[in-house]
């Protein structure tokens, strides 16, 4: 196919160079946005008397028929086209003749591609926000059902203090809520139309950029034409937000992998989200969680790739910028695929409360509460901490837990100890006495569930 820009050249582009240069195999994804943007542009051209009303009608009909045929599959993408923009324009001229050649008036592919990518990513981000909200809801529901499930809370992966499974799950709700607000925040900043920036310097035609911006649901236009065609900040912002989402899903996955091991057995994953081994008949592997954890790396890679591509670019458009799309498409699709499998995996995950509780009875996770017991009876915390440390060491030697030590033995360490210590260090008391805001206490967990529920209603 002859290039649109062939007039200036004496020789055709080398075949390999042509393939190297072409982006249609990935930017064809944006065909709907490309056509939508062109329809809006053509409408503006006619309303500003740059093209006639009847020319607009012809262009609109042609573009709509292309859209229908691409949607239905009646029209295939021409993989010899340089990119989606060239393909649609060539197809339009094929269908409606010379009028098709008027569409590109007061526009360049530089502002066109900038527009298409913003429109495409805006829709994708809204899709991701809905998926995140669905996940937050699923995690919150799991928390609501497991407010009484006591388990060990960990630091350094060592049993630390008793918590409820609900409190642990709600921590993920808070992370995912921040992920939603980060995307919403980025959407606000990116929602300006670059169209009409043209190649880089604007145009001599009396265009109306605001009209196009409004028609396409933007909050306004990019205020500087050079910035309009050169800005890919939003790609990096979105990729950073995607990287954080993946980091959260990856930490969650890591815990699910641990929890479903025989060493923990705190949860049982549903058969439909686990796989078997080709050789070991007993295996039930948490592949979905592992893949989510694994795919985090490629999303980080996409962020790094875009940051690096943009780093040394002089203003305005450079062909390097064509590299923006594969990275952000990959990051975005990875996040979507991960969320789509993560959500049902969470919904069907069954906690095993007895095992959580059994693990909580070991590891002296009520030692802080024993120290607090002494402190509340007047002993300075540091002294109480030291005494309890000695008691723990004695228990380890005797292979008993804190509640198995006799009151007589306790009294050898301090005569402050009375028989009420046993209720004070019971796991249920450890939870119910956590009264600070945001704590694992039953009331606090209810408050958190309420908070998440309210946010999801908005």
Among 38, 46, 99, 110, binds ligand ARG (CB under 6 A): 110
**Cβ of residue 206: shortest distance to ligand ARG, in angstroms?**
24
Instruction: Closer to ligand ARG by CB, 236 or 267: give it.
Output: 236
**Cβ of residue 186: shortest distance to ligand ARG, in angstroms?**
21
- Give the C-alpha separation, 377 to 1, whole Å: 88
- Give the C-alpha separation, 129 to 125, whole Å: 6
CA-CA distances (angstroms) from residue 229 to 107, 187, 260, 317, 318? Answer: 11, 18, 49, 6, 10
Q: Please tell me whether residue 161 adopts helix, strand or coil conformation.
A: strand
Residues in Cβ contact with 153 at an 8 Å cutoff, skipping those fewer than 6 apart: 159, 160, 161, 162, 163, 167, 168, 365, 440
Least Cα distance to 379 among 425, 416, 434, 421 occurs for: 416
Continuous segment of H or E residues that includes residue 53: helix 53-72
Is residue 109 at the binding interface for ligand ARG, with CB under 6 A as the rule?
yes
Restricting to residues 83-102, name those near ligand ARG by CB under 6 A: 83
Does residue 38 have an active-site annotation? no
Restricting to residues 221-260, name those near ligand ARG by CB under 6 A: none
Is residue 348 at the binding interface for ligand ARG, with CB under 6 A as the rule?
no
Does residue 156 have an active-site annotation? yes
Say how many residues touch ligand ARG, by CB under 6 A.
10
Outline where 231-365 has alpha helix (H): 233-259, 287-311, 323-347, 353-361
Restricting to residues 306-325, name those near ligand ARG by CB under 6 A: 317, 319, 321-322
Active-site residue among 52, 130, 261, 277?
Answer: 277
**Cβ of residue 9: shortest distance to ligand ARG, in angstroms?**
14
Residue holding tokens 């205020």? 223
**Cβ of residue 274: shortest distance to ligand ARG, in angstroms?**
41
- Give the C-alpha separation, 368 to 163, whole Å: 13
**Cβ of residue 83: shortest distance to ligand ARG, in angstroms?**
4
Least Cα distance to 367 among 406, 409, 395 occurs for: 395
Instruction: Closer to ligand ARG by CB, 230 or 250: give it.
Output: 230
Active-site residue among 72, 156, 272, 278?
Answer: 156
Instruction: Closer to ligand ARG by CB, 84 or 245: give it.
Output: 84
Instruction: Closer to ligand ARG by CB, 15 or 319: give it.
Output: 319
Residue holding tokens 């196919």? 1
**Cβ of residue 319: shortest distance to ligand ARG, in angstroms?**
6
Is residue 23 at the binding interface for ligand ARG, with CB under 6 A as the rule?
yes
**Cβ of residue 22: shortest distance to ligand ARG, in angstroms?**
8
- Give the C-alpha separation, 50 to 148, whole Å: 70
**What is the 3-state composition of the chain as percent helix, strand, coil, each rounded to the nearest 5?**
65, 5, 30
Among 44, 106, 113, 256, binds ligand ARG (CB under 6 A): 113
Instruction: Closer to ligand ARG by CB, 9 or 262: give it.
Output: 9
Instruction: Closer to ligand ARG by CB, 232 or 434: give it.
Output: 232
Half-sphere exposure of 121 (CA within 13 A, CB side): 34
Tokens (6 digits) for 283: 């295996």
Instruction: Please compute Rg for the chain using Cα positions.
Output: 31
Least Cα distance to 238 among 311, 336, 314 occurs for: 336
Instruction: Closer to ligand ARG by CB, 7 or 206: give it.
Output: 7
Positions in the binding site for ligand ARG (CB under 6 A): 23, 27, 83, 109-110, 113, 317, 319, 321-322
Enumerate the active-site residues. 156, 277
């Amino acid at each position: 196919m002859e290039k649109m820009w062939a007039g200036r050249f004496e020789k055709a582009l080398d075949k390999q160079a042509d393939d190297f240069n072409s982006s249609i195999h990935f930017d064809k994804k944006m065909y709907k946005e490309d056509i939508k943007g062109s329809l809006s542009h053509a409408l503006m051209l006619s309303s500003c008397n740059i093209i006639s009303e009847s020319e607009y009608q012809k262009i609109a009909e042609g573009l709509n028929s292309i859209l229908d045929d691409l949607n239905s599959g009646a029209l295939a993408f021409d993989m010899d086209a340089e990119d989606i923009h060239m393909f649609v324009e060539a197809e339009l001229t094929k269908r409606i003749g010379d009028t098709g050649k008027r569409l590109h008036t007061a526009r360049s592919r530089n502002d066109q591609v900038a527009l298409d990518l913003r429109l495409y990513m805006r829709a994708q981000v809204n899709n991701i926000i809905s998926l995140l909200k669905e996940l937050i809801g699923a995690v919150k529901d799991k928390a609501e059902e497991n407010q009484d499930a006591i388990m060990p809370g960990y630091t350094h992966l060592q049993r630390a203090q008793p918590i409820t499974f609900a409190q642990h799950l709600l921590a993920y709700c808070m992370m995912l809520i921040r992920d939603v607000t980060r995307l919403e925040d980025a959407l606000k900043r990116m929602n300006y139309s670059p169209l009409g920036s043209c190649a880089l310097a604007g145009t001599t035609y009396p265009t109306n950029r605001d009209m196009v911006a409004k028609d396409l649901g933007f909050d306004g236009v990019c205020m500087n034409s050079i910035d309009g065609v050169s800005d890919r900040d939003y790609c990096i912002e979105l990729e950073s937000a995607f990287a954080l989402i993946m980091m959260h899903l990856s930490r969650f996955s890591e815990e699910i992998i641990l929890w479903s091991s025989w060493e923990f057995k705190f949860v049982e994953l549903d058969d439909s989200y686990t796989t078997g081994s080709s050789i070991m008949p007993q295996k039930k592997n948490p592949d979905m969680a592992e893949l989510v954890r694994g795919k985090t790396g490629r999303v980080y890679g996409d962020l790094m790739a875009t940051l690096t591509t943009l780093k040394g670019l002089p203003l305005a458009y450079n062909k390097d910028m064509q590299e923006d799309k594969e990275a952000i498409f990959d990051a975005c699709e990875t996040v979507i695929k991960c969320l789509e499998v993560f959500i049902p995996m969470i919904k069907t995950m069954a906690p095993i409360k007895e095992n959580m509780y059994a693990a909580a009875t070991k590891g002296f996770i009520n030692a802080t509460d024993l120290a607090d017991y002494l402190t509340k009876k007047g002993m300075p915390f540091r002294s109480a901490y030291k005494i309890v440390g000695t008691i723990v060491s004695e228990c380890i030697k005797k292979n008993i837990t804190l509640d198995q030590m006799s009151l007589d033995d306790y009294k050898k360490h301090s005569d402050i100890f009375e028989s009420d210590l046993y209720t004070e260090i019971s796991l249920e008391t450890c939870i119910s006495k956590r009264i600070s805001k945001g704590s694992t206490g039953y009331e606090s967990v209810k408050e958190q569930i309420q908070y998440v529920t309210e946010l999801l209603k908005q």
